[in-house]
Amino acid sequence: MVIGVFILTDEKQSPSTGINWAQIGTVVTTIAQLYQILREQDVSLVLVDVNRHDVSQAVAIKIRRPNGLTDIWKLVESDATPHDVESFFDGHMPIDLGHEGITKRINQVIADKKLLERYGIVGRSRTMRALAHTIDRIAPTDVSVLIVGPSGSGKELVARALHHDSPRNDGPFVTINCGAISEGLLESELFGHEKGAFTGSVGKREGLFRKAEGGTIFLDEIGETKPDMQVKLLRVLEDGTFYPVGSSVPERANVRVVAATNRDLSEAIADRQFREDLYFRISAVKLVVPPLMDRRADLQPLLQYFWRNEKGLDYSGSALERLMKYDWPGNVRQLRNFAARMAALKPAGLVETDDVEKFLAEQHATAQHLPVSTGRTVEAAGQELIYRAILSLGNEIKLLRNLISANLPGEQVNDAAEPMASSGLDSSSTMEEMEEALIRHVLKEVGGNRKETARRLGIGERTLYRKLSKYNLR
C-alpha cells in the first residue's frame, strides 16, 4: 500500500470496477470524513472520484490547510477525455490505466514530492516538478548552467541545489551579484589583486574564483557585466585561467560556474551589450525559473512554509483566494514580505481579506512611483515612462503656445515647438504608438541617419532596425 493516499469516492457508486482501491490507499466517502483524517495525519495525495462534483476551489483550499503540499488529483474515464479538470486539481488520473498503471502513477507523484523536498523547493506545481527533474539530471555533471528567471523567483535556491547534489558538494559555494558591484571592483572581487595594484591595495587578496576552488561559484545577474569583464570571464570559463589585478602571472581555478540573469540575453547580444561567445559558454544548460504568477499552486505551501514558526497565525479561505488572484510582480520575495508583515502585525490571529487588500493597495501605490509595470520588463517600463514624459512635455508646450497666442494675437509661434504634440498622440496613446512617433520624430530631425537615430534613442542599431521593420519605417 502507498502510504498517505486517500480516495474520495461516491457513496452509491464505486470509482471503478476491477481495481482494488483498498490496496492502493484508504477509501473515504464524505468530505467531512476526509477533513477529520487530514487534521490527524499527513496526507500526500487525495484522489477524487470522477462521479464527485462537490470538490470546489474552496474545498481544495480547506483540504490543503493542514498541509499545502497535499496533491489533489481527479480520476477521469480516460487520458484522452479529462472532463475539463478544474485548475485547482494538480492533475488527472485515467481509470483505464488499471490497478498497476494507477499505482505506478501514484508512486511517481510521491517520488516527485520527495525530489522537490530533497532540493529544498517548496511547491507542488508542474513547472517546479519539471525543474527538479532537470536539476536531478545535470547536478552530478560539471557542465556550466545559466539560470533564467525574474528577480525574486528563487534562482539562488536552484544554484545551491545544483551544488549540493554535485560531486563538488564538499567544496565551497561562493556567490556574487555582478550587478551590485562597480566594474572596477568586480574584477578584483572575482580574480583578486596584488599588493599595490591600485590605490588602497595594501596587501595581496584572493578573489572569489580562488576561494571557490574545488566548488561552485554563482555569478548572479551576469547580464549586468561590461564587455571588458565578459572577455575575462570567457577566458576563465574556457581554460580555468585568470590574472589577478596587477599580476602578469596566470593562475588556474578548478570551479564549476553557475550563472543567473533576469534579462533577455539574446536582446542584449543583439544590442552588443553581451558577448555571444560568452553566452554560449555559460548556457550549455539553461534552467528557467518561472514567476510566481505562473505557478500559483505553490502559493499556499509557500505561505505555510514562511509561517512554519508562527503557530498561532492562520488565514481565511477568502484571503488565500484573493492572494492567488494577484500577479506577484516581486515573486516569492514579495510573498515572503507579505508573510513577514502579517507575522508582525497579527502574530496570533486570522489573516482576512481586508488585510490582503490593504497590503495589495500599498503595493499598487508603491509601484506607481517605480519604473516597473506588472508583466513588463524593467527596460520596457522605463521606455514607456520616457515616452510619456516626452508626450507630457509636448502637451505642456502646446498649452503654453496656445496661451501665448491668445494673449499676443500678433505673435506667431513656431509649430516646431510642439514636435510630439503635432503627432496627434496624447497620454492615452499606447506604448507602441508613442514609440513609433518618437522614432519618426528623431529620424526626421537627423535627416534619416539611422546610426545617429539609434545614438539619440539610446538603443543599439540592430534594435533600431528591428523597430523600423516592425513599424514599416524603412
Question: For residue 73, is pLDDT > 90?
Answer: yes
pLDDT score, position 247:
83
User: Mean pLDDT over residues 82-104, rounded?
Assistant: 85
277: left (phi over 0), alpha (psi -120 to 50) or beta: alpha
User: Mean pLDDT over residues 436-460, rounded?
Assistant: 83
Higher pLDDT, 472 or 140: 140
User: Mind giving me the DSSP string for 186-210?
Assistant: HHHHHH-B-TTSSTT--S-B--HHH
- CA dist 130 and 108 (Å) reads 12
* Banded model confidence at residue 387, pLDDT cuts 50, 70, 90: low
Q: What is the DSSP letter of 420?
A: T
Ranking 5-19, 308-322, 414-428, 448-462 by mean pLDDT, the lowest is 414-428
Handedness of CA 26, 31, 35, 38 (dihedral sign): positive
Evaluate whether 189 touches 207 at the Cβ level (below 8 Å). Answer: yes
Higher pLDDT, 363 or 201: 363
* Banded model confidence at residue 20, pLDDT cuts 50, 70, 90: confident
* Banded model confidence at residue 413, pLDDT cuts 50, 70, 90: very low
Identity of residue 469: S
Q: 87: buried, middle or exposed (CB in 10 Å: 19+, 13-18, 0-12)? A: exposed
The beta-strand segments (E) located in 262-338 are 285-288, 314-315
pLDDT score, position 426:
56
Angle subtended by helix axes 450-457 and 431-445, to nearest 10: 130
User: Mean pLDDT over residues 427-438, rounded?
Assistant: 72
Closest by CA to 38, choosing from 3, 16, 67, is 67
Evaluate whether 36 touches 76 at the Cβ level (below 8 Å). Answer: no
pLDDT score, position 243:
87
Query: Grid coordinates representing 356?
Result: 490582503
The full length of the chain comes to 474
pLDDT score, position 197:
64
Q: Tens digits of per-residue pLDDT, 266-321? A: 888 988 899 999 999 999 999 999 999 999 999 999 999 999 998 889 999 999 99
pLDDT score, position 204:
78
Question: For residue 397, is pLDDT > 70?
Answer: no
Closest by CA to 213, choosing from 156, 172, 258, is 172
Question: For residue 418, is pLDDT > 50?
Answer: no
Task: Label the pairing between strands 216-220 and 173-177.
Answer: parallel
pTM reported for the whole predicted model? 0.74
Residue for grid cell 572581487: 189
Question: For residue 78, is pLDDT > 90?
Answer: no
User: Mind giving me the DSSP string for 114-177?
Assistant: HHHHHTT-----HHHHHHHHHHHHHTTS---EEEE--TTS-HHHHHHHHHHTSTTTTS-EEEEE
> Which stretch, 248-252, 397-401, 413-417, has highest mean pLDDT?
248-252
Q: What is the DSSP letter of 249?
A: S
Higher pLDDT, 277 or 77: 277
CA distances to 175, 214, 233, 317, 400 from 250, rounded to whole Å, are: 23, 18, 14, 61, 64
Q: 355: buried, middle or exposed (CB in 10 Å: 19+, 13-18, 0-12)? A: buried
Domains along the sequence of the chain with CATH: 5-118 (3.40.50.2300), 141-288 (3.40.50.300), 292-367 (1.10.8.60), 378-470 (no CATH)
Question: For residue 234, is pLDDT > 70?
Answer: yes
Question: For residue 64, is pLDDT > 90?
Answer: yes
The rounded mean pLDDT for the chain is 83
Closest by CA to 142, choosing from 288, 254, 236, is 254
Furthest CA-CA distance within the chain: 97
- CA dist 196 and 323 (Å) reads 55
pLDDT score, position 414:
46
CA angle 53, 57, 58 (to 5 degrees): 105
pLDDT score, position 453:
85
CA distances to 5, 18, 99, 107, 368 from 103, rounded to whole Å, are: 11, 14, 6, 6, 51
pLDDT score, position 376:
45
CA distances to 146, 155, 171, 231, 283 from 257, rounded to whole Å, are: 9, 14, 13, 15, 10
Closest by CA to 44, choosing from 336, 301, 415, 326, is 301
- CA dist 378 and 179 (Å) reads 14
pLDDT score, position 353:
94
- CA dist 97 and 21 (Å) reads 13
Q: Tens digits of per-residue pLDDT, 112-133? A: 999 999 999 999 999 999 999 9
* Banded model confidence at residue 408, pLDDT cuts 50, 70, 90: low
